């Protein structure tokens, strides 16, 4: 079933987790392209700052502050979109929290809190969004993770929440297909992204955690999300690292486990002492940032993601490069 979607500049886009990382990058890009954005996060002062920034740059934005684990907050977010702009065209469930620690160390209270945001917050956002999208049409975009497809140690509950989100999202898509509902349902699965994610995570480690390479720029994910707002896709993986590792695990799973044992435990550690602050239960206002503090190389583009989103353009580019290489080789041989 082909679902017609509006151009981004014609849309009202709701985004959760909009004061840092992927959510903030998406909000800024959407507003820059002409969309009206309705933003959610827990830190109201940061939301005010971002909405003011967008307005100063000629954009339109509104916000509803609060914790998406609270269903009443999600309903108020939708009501704000209707009150301010009259409709919802795309709803992006992006808010998330994380925990670094061995499964036997992490408290059940912390694990439940993570699921309240990463799973139940996404579920509530999706179900509230459908009350509007099913009648008028539009896109529902859930931001999962490469860990919706695989797992890594020290983030066990995060792995589980993203697997649960994938199961929910794919089931929802099938049920809406049976209804012939005019809603595009997309799961976006970023690889490691240079956002404040490790800084915001609750950590049981004795040092600050970090990403493992390859690490990608958050703007790549924002571009993918906005592409899915106007073009229907099932699943979009951002970054090639996850694809490669998932393939290894399917072919030789035991070897994949050994790679993780050898690399992940030490690779997730920095030399910096652990901080006491995190955002698992409470926001840390006053620092709305897109980028994190990753010290290594950050990839600014992903050819595999571009090929997924625009396969014809990617094919033409590959063909052009191939012709150019063939011509260069021919010229070299002749000379």
Is the pLDDT at 325 greater than 50? The verdict is: no
Cis peptide, bond prior to residue 280, ω within 30 of zero: no
Q: Which CATH number fits domain 8-301: 3.90.1170.50, 3.20.20.120, 3.40.50.720, 3.40.50.970?
A: 3.40.50.720
Beta-sheet pairing, 36-40 with 60-63: parallel
Kindly give, in sequence order, each residue whose CB lies less than 8 Å from that of residue 155, ignoring residues fewer than 6 positions away: 98, 99, 100, 147
| Cα first-last separation, the chain | 55
- Summarised one tens digit per residue, pLDDT across range 128-146 is 999 999 999 999 999 999 9
Task: Evaluate whether 161 touches 206 at the Cβ level (below 8 Å).
Answer: no
Measured between alpha carbons, how far is 314 from 157 in angstroms, rounded to an integer? 36
- Rounded (10°) angle between helices 156-179 and 108-115: 30
How many of the other CB atoms lie within 10 Å of CB of 49?
15
pTM of this prediction? 0.91
Query: Per-domain residue ranges for the chain?
Result: 8-301
pLDDT in tens, 34-58: 999 999 999 999 999 999 999 999 9
**Residue appearing with tokens 């917050």:** 121
pLDDT tens by residue, 160-216 = 999 999 999 999 999 999 999 999 999 999 999 999 999 999 999 999 999 999 999
Three-state DSSP at 255 gives helix
Q: For residues 159 and 161, what is the distance between their CA atoms, to the nearest angstrom? A: 6
Annotation marks residue 100 as catalytic: no
DSSP, collapsed to helix, strand or coil, labels residue 14 as strand
Which member of 119, 132, 158, 197 is catalytic? 158
């Amino acid at each position: 079933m082909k679902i017609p979607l509006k151009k981004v500049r014609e849309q009202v886009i709701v985004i959760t987790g909009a004061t840092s990382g992927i959510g903030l990058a998406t909000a800024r890009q959407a507003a820059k392209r002409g969309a009206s954005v309705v933003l959610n996060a827990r830190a109201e002062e940061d939301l005010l700052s971002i909405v003011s920034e967008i307005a100063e740059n000629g954009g339109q934005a509104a916000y509803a502050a609060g914790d998406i684990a609270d269903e009443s907050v999600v309903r108020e977010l939708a009501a704000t979109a209707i009150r301010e702009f009259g409709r919802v065209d795309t709803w992006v469930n992006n808010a998330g929290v994380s925990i670094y620690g061995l499964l036997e160390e992490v408290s059940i209270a912390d694990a439940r809190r993570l699921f309240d945001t990463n799973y139940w917050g996404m579920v509530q956002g999706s179900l509230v969004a459908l009350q509007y999208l099913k009648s008028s049409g539009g896109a529902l975009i859930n931001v999962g993770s490469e860990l919706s497809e695989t797992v890594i140690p020290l983030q066990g509950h995060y792995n589980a929440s993203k697997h649960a989100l994938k199961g929910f999202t794919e089931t929802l898509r099938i049920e809406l297909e049976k209804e012939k509902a005019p809603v595009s349902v997309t799961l976006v699965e970023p690889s490691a992204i240079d956002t404040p994610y490790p800084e915001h995570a609750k950590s049981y480690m004795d040092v600050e955690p970090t990403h493992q390479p390859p690490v990608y720029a958050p703007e790549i994910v924002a571009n993918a999300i906005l592409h899915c707002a106007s073009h229907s896709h099932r699943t979009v993986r951002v970054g090639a690292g996850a694809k490669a590792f998932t393939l290894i695990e399917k072919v030789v799973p035991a070897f994949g486990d050994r790679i993780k044992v050898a690399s992940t435990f030490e690779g997730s550690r920095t030399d910096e002492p652990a901080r006491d602050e995190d955002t698992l239960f409470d926001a840390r206002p006053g620092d709305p940032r897109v980028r994190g503090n990753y010290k290594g190389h950050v990839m600014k583009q992903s050819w595999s993601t571009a090929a997924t989103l625009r396969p014809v353009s990617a094919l033409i580019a590959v063909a052009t490069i191939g012709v150019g290489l063939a011509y260069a080789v021919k010229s070299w041989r002749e000379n």
